[in-house]
Structure 1
Amino acid sequence: MLRLPEAQRDLFKKPFGTLYRGIEELLPRLEGRAVYAVGDVVTHNLLDAGIVPDIAIIDGYTMRTPCTRSPLLKARRMTAKNPAGTITDELVDAIERAVRDPPGVIFVDGEEDLAVIPLVLAAPDGAAVLYGQPGEGVVLRIVDASAKREAESILKVFVRE
């Protein structure tokens, strides 16, 4: 398991991609791409916009409170334990399985916030990864070599336990 040290938590205050105020603004960027969503609200908002994500990673919560808009997707369901502030091997394995054989929903027992990092590393070039930036909007990261390099560098601040 990888743990994000408390001193490095600010790293995730800056968007890991382009920040949009809402899903509607970024819809044109999703055309023809695999779409991967991290978070219950982002997934719900994609579904409301008529886009079914190829992969959704959800935990049933938004900003630490139960999410009343948890999406119901008709896709293969996997579960993974992932405590807050960590990236577990179990989560990474589930992400890799989902990317190899979409569609899939990964229901996280714990917290899915940091899943965007291993998801970008596992995703094929050209995929669109979306996640919520609390209080600000939704972040879109198109996977390419630069995104993978940045994800790798972020992982270097984590501590293996």
Structure 2
Amino acid sequence: MLRLPEAHRDLLKIPFGTLYRDIGELLPLIEGRAIYAVGDVVTHNLLSAGIVPDIAIIDGYTMRTPCTRSPLLQARRITAKNPAGTITDELVDAIDEVIRDPPGVIFVDGEEDLAVIPLVLAAPSGAAVLYGQPGEGVVLRIVDASAKREAETILKAFVRE
């Protein structure tokens, strides 16, 4: 399991992509792409806009309170344990499995906030990764070599336990 030390938590306060206030603003940018969503609210908002993500990673919570808008997708469902502030091998394995054979929903027992990092590393070039930036909007990151390098840099701040 990888844990992000408290001293490096500020690394994730800066959006890991382009921040949009409303999901409607980015819809033209994701057309024709594989769409990977991290978070219950982002997934719900995509579904409300008529877009079913190829992969959704959810935990049933938003900002540490139960999310009453958890999406019910018809895709196969994998459960992975992932405590807050960590990236578990179980989560990484679930991401790898669903990327190899989409669509799928990964339901995280714990917290899915950091899943965007291994998701970008595993995703094919051109995929659209979306996640929520609490109180600000939704972040879009199109996967490319730069995104993968940045994810690797962030991952180096983690410590293996």
Q: Distance in 2 between matches of 1:2 and 1:57?
A: 18
State the shift of 1:113 in Å.
0.1
Percent identical across equivalent pairs? 89
Secondary structure of the residue that 1:26 maps to in structure 2? helix
- AA aligned to 2:20 is Y
* CA root-mean-square deviation: 0.3
- AA aligned to 2:54 is D
Consecutive aligned runs of 4 or more in structure 1 exceeding 6 Å deviation: none
Q: TM-score, normalised by structure 1?
A: 1.00
| Structure 1 runs not aligned, ≥5 long | none
State the shift of 1:47 in Å.
0.1
State the shift of 1:127 in Å.
0.1
Tell me what 2:103 maps to.
103
1:94-133 matches, cutoff 5 A: 94-133=94-133
Tell me what 1:2 maps to.
2
State the shift of 1:99 in Å.
0.3
State the shift of 1:122 in Å.
0.3
- AA aligned to 1:19 is L
Q: Distance in 2 between matches of 1:32 and 1:73?
A: 20
Tell me what 2:135 maps to.
135
State the shift of 1:108 in Å.
0.1
Q: Distance in 2 between matches of 1:74 and 1:158?
A: 34
Q: Distance in 2 between matches of 1:129 and 1:41?
A: 14
- AA aligned to 1:76 is R
- How many residues are aligned here? 161
